[in-house]
Amino acid sequence: MSKVDDFAKQFEDAVRAAFVQAYGMPSDPDALRSIRSTWSEESVKQGWKDPDPRVVLIGSEYGWVQDPWSTDDEDNQQNAWAMAMEILKEDGWGDVAWESINAGVHYVYIMLPSEWQEIMFKRQRDKRAW
């Protein structure tokens, strides 16, 4: 496993742990799979985002981590997402943020060292070759 692979897994685990702290443990532990790195093979096959060790997908369709724009309780959802970002920052992950792709898929991202760019671009090119 490369340093980039290690980083992607560690960031994925940290994002998952932050959302567990913000939302609590899901009643169905299988829902933890809704948080996964775009660097993972499963995410590469889904194609929501290009493979990037800096990006972790959050699937809110499972009902555990809620859509931050949920009209039912938007303020509470955005507070939970803000709490998860603050937990990551406090845990030493630096500048992290989140964005939405649609109501069911969101992502958390972090900036990485520039020397990793070529490794990421190669993985993205490989993905497109599939």
- Contact indicator for 116, 53 with CB cutoff of 8 Å: yes
Six-digit token string for 7: 């980083």
- Cα 40 from Cα 18, distance rounded (Å): 19
Per-residue tens of pLDDT for the chain, all 130 residues: 788 899 999 999 999 999 999 999 999 999 999 999 999 988 888 889 999 999 999 998 866 898 888 766 656 777 889 999 999 999 999 889 999 999 899 999 997 666 777 787 888 888 776 5
Task: Let me know if residue 130 belongs to a domain.
Answer: no
- Cα 84 from Cα 98, distance rounded (Å): 10
Task: Let me know if residue 19 belongs to a domain.
Answer: yes
List the 105-110 sheet strands across, edge first.
35-37, 55-59, 105-110, 96-102
Task: Let me know if residue 51 belongs to a domain.
Answer: yes
Q: What pLDDT is stored for residue 115 in this prediction?
A: 72
Task: Let me know if residue 21 belongs to a domain.
Answer: yes
Q: Kindly report, residue by residue over 82-95, the tens digit of the pLDDT.
A: 999 999 999 999 88
Domain that holds residue 36: 3-125
